[in-house]
Structure 1
Amino acid sequence: MKTMASPSFIISLALLILLLHLSSSFSAASHHHRQHHHRPPPPNPKLQQAYVALQAFKKVIYSDPRNFTTNWIGREVCKYNGIYCSPSPHDNKTKVVAGIDLNGVDIAGYLPDELGLLSDLALIHLNSNRFCGILPQTLSNLSLLFELDLSNNRFVGPFPTVVLSLPSLKYLDLRYNEFEGSLPPQLFAKNLDAIFINNNWFSNVVPPSFVTSTASVVVFANNKLRGCLPPSISNFANTLEELLLINTSISGCLPPEVGYLYKLKVLDVSHNNLVGPIPYSIAGLAHLEQLNLAHNMMSGVVPMGVCVLPNLVNFTFSYNFFCEEEGICGNLSSNGIAFDDRRNCLPEKPKQRSEKECEAALEHPVDCFHYHCGGVPSGGSNAIPPAMVPAAATPLLSPSMAPGNA
């Protein structure tokens, strides 16, 4: 006779089976969770490339007296000194290397081709180091690069045309290097805001024609460009605020088109071979704060319209051949303007040129309308005898020219 299991027994057995099943499921899930928790995240290909590029960079650094790059080890490149990461502009879940800032750490080395792997870079700041050599063409891969500061290093070679291929570049600083040769006209056709190329060995001539430019600051100073400032400088009118041509060997007359640069705050053409009068059009530059014409061969009258400019705070026209100061120009200090009018031909003013020098200049007036760039007017005689040319002096640095300033 079969014995039937009681209902309570069947229920107890079912509960036991259910508990065993739940326990097994929980254990499996817990094990799966632990495995998932400890599994390393998938590698970020952008940071992998950055690791390759920065290790290549470290290998070509042969002097690092401050040990700035000693922590450039391991694959966590975002923790390297001077390396800055941010979300990719194309995918905010992906971290990329967006900046290299090695300003002022006295590193010596050169730039390897592998820097082109850092295609997400927005800025490169290498100011005040001892980097040398030429710029690699692979920098053309840096389509997002906004700022490139290579100032105060030892880079050489012709103008680095690779920078012309950077579509996002706004700030270019090549000051205080050893670049040489001519300047490509395409430089001024780029959508740049600041162009610093002073204190190099650029030669040839100022580009004979400028296309419409977006630059607010252009510093050519302390190069040997020669030539005249072309009338097409007016193509900078809508944006240009600072123009520095100090010690660039430019000659000829200042074109009246300079007066079209209605946003200009700083104009410095000192230590050149300019001749002729001050264009009266400069009297229209209502925002002008600093005007430096010193150490040239300019002549004629200092016009009152320039001296009463509403924002003018510093007007330097020493070491020229000006013979008259119109109106308030003879007493600029009464208008709160700092000035320097030494070594001109101004009657009754102290520290002027000798009568002999001034007479020679007056005997050879300059007619800018007929003046040919290169130093000879249509009449065939020199504008000012070579003996009257002022001796070259070491030009002072404008704040815009000094390395490390922008």
Structure 2
Amino acid sequence: MSLIDNPMYKLQRLQAFGCFLLFSSLFSLLPTSTTFALTDAEAAYIVRRQLKTLPPNDELPPEVEYEVKVSLTFSNQRLKKAYIGLQALKKAIYSDPMNKTGDWVGSNVCNYTGVFCSEALDDKSLTVVSGVDLNHADIAAHFPAEMGYMTDLALIHINSNRFCGIVPKTMSRLKLMYEFDISNNRFVGPFPEVALSWPTIRFLDLRYNNFEGSIPPELFEKNLDALFLNNNRFKSTIPKAIGKSTVSVVTFANNKFEGCIPHSIGKMSNLNEIIFMNNNLVGCFPEEVGMLTNVTIFDASSNAFTGSLPESLTGMKSIESLDLSHNKLTGTVPENVCKLPKLSNFTFSRNYFQNEPNACQVPSKKDIVFDDTYNCLPGRPKQRSTKECQPVISQLVDCSKDKCAGGGGRSPHKPKHKPKPNPEPQPPKQPHPPTPVHHHPPPSPPKESPKTPIKQEGKEEVSPLERSRPPAPPIHPPPVSSPPPVHSPPPPVKPPPAPVYSPPPPVHSPPPPVKSPPQRPTEGIHLPPNLGFQYSSPPPPMFPGY
């Protein structure tokens, strides 16, 4: 079978063509001060280069294809293979405006900019390439298949560049991969399943790309510390396997996830932060949400949740920020939720709550912020009109019968079947049988486009257009230089920082200090001394923008 006729090659052509369209339509809109825009011809050229280099059977090209000068010598074969992989990556680069790879010449690969070496894990007498960090370099390129030669890599950071195309399956050979950050690029295609083949992966950051399709349930069976999926085009239900996840931070925001929050969420004992914002999730909140006793940030805003809040939310003893705004929640706000000991911000605006206890109106502490605006609360300022409230509160959802909350009844979001006409015979004196009456349920109110919320402390206004359209291409976060190698084991990592309620800062602003997600024991697996969370790409702000 020729390369052109290979089905995988055809799929890759379609995925890469999607990347070409993104380049041609989006890069011309970005400010020239923040990035070097590509022309349509340049973007198409990058795509063609990857298609020509990707092997049809996911096999690495033979090393003999690469001419290594006789004058080049390497202390071991692993460094030679790393040289081949790095030279292939350099060849795959179309634009390097900061000349980050200008010194990628010669056999001394450990002196290349952005390349880190350390002792091999299985043989301390060998020096190997264990990390590549090209963050914020504005490089336009693609991943070559030869990346699979660099089997000692434990860290790849290329966030905030212009990489395009797909993540090749040859990278499944990188069995020591620990941190993989390709956020804020233009990758396309389905979830990169090569990540499932990495036994030691702990930090996976796919934010701000154009991945699509479903999330494999096996992802939540990996021993991950942090998982960032936000601002892509994923469209599926959230797998029930989420309950098996070991993550402390996970973000689903700004995708197209649908369906319910799985009941298994209550088993996520390590969870500190979870973000569902701006998806298509529906139904009542499951009671198991209250089992998240270690969660400090829970954001389910801008979805289509209905029904009343479960009293079990009072079990979230560590919660600091709780955002349930822009949904269709009704009933009474549980008083004890407003009295949670560490709560500092509770936003439940843009819902249809009818009752609110005094504890949610008058904070018990000065540093608590409550936002109850645009509900149906009598006597409170800035509420919805009766005309807006009536269609929703006249059809209150019984969460005891809602499947998402664990009931056995029909989901309120599925259309009910029309009642069949009465089969009983009509009275003989009546000339014509009466027309059967079909009792349709009252029409649901039109889905409300999220309105600009009242600007509160530290939170940016978000326009209706921004909430309704697909995630826009992100503005590149400010440059963050990777720290120099440190010849000591990774230091203990503190928990993630408190939430930042602002979009990513301007390009020329210095980044705020951000600490990496907590690190747990790696069951006998130790990173090389030069690697670890000291090279972690700092997560962008966790609230709008994520």
| TM-score range for the pair, normalised by the shorter chain length | 0.7 to 0.9
Q: Compute the RMSD of aligned alpha carbons.
A: 2.4
- The match for 1:386 is 445
1:286, CA displacement in angstroms? 0.9
- Which of 390, 393, 413 is equivalent to 1:376? 413
What does residue 121 of structure 1 align with?
153
Cα deviation code 1:71-128 (max 9, x no counterpart): 1111110111100111111122211111100000100100011111111111100100
The answer on whether the counterparts of 1:371 and 1:377 sit within 8 Å (CA) in structure 2 is: no
Give the conservation status (yes or no) of the 8 Å contact 2:218–2:241: no
Q: 1:348 Cα shift?
A: 1.2
Deviations 1:245-273 (A, max 9, x none): 00111011111111111111100000000
Q: Match of 1:114, as an amino acid?
A: E
Match of 1:366 among 397, 408, 412: 397
Distance across 1 between alignment mates of 2:229 and 2:502: 9
Shift of residue 207 of structure 1? 1.8
Q: Tell me the equivalent position of 1:193.
A: 225
Instruction: Determine if contact 1:69/1:81 at 8 Å carries over to the other structure.
Output: yes
- Indicate conservation of the 8 Å contact 1:365/1:383, yes or no: no
Q: Matches of 2:395 and 2:277 in 1, distance apart? A: 25
Q: Determine whether 1:239 maps to 2:270.
A: yes
Instruction: Check 1:314–1:146 CA distance in 2 against 1; reply closer, same or farther (3 A cut).
Output: same
For 2:364 and 2:347, locate their aligned partners in 1 and report how far apart those are by CA, in whole Å. 12
The alpha-carbon deviation at position 195 of structure 1 amounts to 0.8
Which amino acid in structure 2 is aligned with residue 93 of structure 1? S
TM-superposed CA distance for 1:343, in Å, is 0.3
Please list, as runs of the form range in 1=range in 2, the aligned pairs for 1:4-403 lying within 5 A after superposition.
43-236=75-268, 238-332=269-363, 334-372=365-403, 375-376=412-413, 385-387=444-446, 389-391=448-450, 393=464, 394=466, 399=500
Q: Is the 8 A contact 1:287 1:310 kept in 2?
A: yes
TM superposition shift of 1:189: 1.0
Distance 1:180 1:356, change over 3 A: same
**Which has the higher mean CA deviation after the structures are superposed, 354-363 or 267-276?**
354-363
Report the alpha carbon displacement of residue 42 of structure 1 after superposing the two structures with TM: 6.8
* Structure 1: runs of 5+ lacking an equivalent: 1-39
- Look up the equivalent residue of 1:131 and give its one-letter code: F
Distance, in Å, in 1 between the alignment partners of 2:403 and 2:223 is 32
Rounded to whole Å, the distance in 2 between the matches of 1:88 and 1:401 is 41
Going from structure 1 to structure 2, the CA distance change for 1:333 and 1:308 (only over 3 Å counts) comes to closer
Tell me the matched-pair count. Answer: 366
Give the whole-Å Cα distance in 2 for the aligned partners of 1:102 and 1:178: 20
Contact kept in structure 2, 1:198 and 1:401, CA below 8 Å: no
Structure with greater strand share of residues: 1
Q: Higher helix proportion, which one? A: 1
Q: CA deviation at 1:69?
A: 0.7
Q: Distance in 1 between matches of 2:251 and 2:287?
A: 20
SS in 1 for 2:218: helix
Which shows bigger deviation, 356-365 or 182-191? Answer: 356-365
In the superposition, relative to structure 1, how do residues 101 and 261 fare at CA in structure 2: closer, same or farther (>3 Å)? same
The answer (yes or no) to whether the contact 2:391–2:445 under 8 Å persists in 1 is no
Q: What's the offset of the Cα at 1:405?
A: 4.0
SS in structure 2 of the partner of residue 298 of structure 1? strand
TM-score normalised according to structure 1 size: 0.85
Greater relative contact order structure (CA < 8 Å, 6+ sep): 2
Shift, 1:138, TM fit: 1.3
Higher alpha-carbon deviation: 324-333 or 368-377? 368-377
Q: Percent identity?
A: 48
User: Could you tell me how far apart the structure 2 residues matched to 1:94 and 1:383 are?
Assistant: 73
TM-score (norm 2): 0.64
Q: Looking at CA atoms only, which structure, 1 or 2, has the larger radius of gyration?
A: 1
Q: 1:279 to 1:383 in 2, by over 3 A?
A: farther
Whole-Å separation in 2 of the counterparts to 1:41 and 1:388: 67
Q: How big is the shift at 1:378?
A: 9.7
Aligned AA (2:210): E
Q: Is the 8 A contact 2:360 2:370 kept in 1?
A: no
Q: Where do 5+ consecutive residues of structure 2 fail to align?
A: 1-71, 405-410, 418-439, 452-463, 475-498, 505-536, 540-546
Amino acid of the structure 2 residue aligned with 1:90: D
Aligned 8 A contact 1:376 1:383 in 2:
no
Q: What is the aligned partner in structure 2 of residue 29 from structure 1?
A: none
Give the 3 Å change call, closer, same or farther, for CA 382–125 of structure 1 in structure 2.
Answer: farther
Q: Which amino acid aligns with 2:287?
A: P
Give the secondary structure class of the aligned counterpart of 1:86. strand
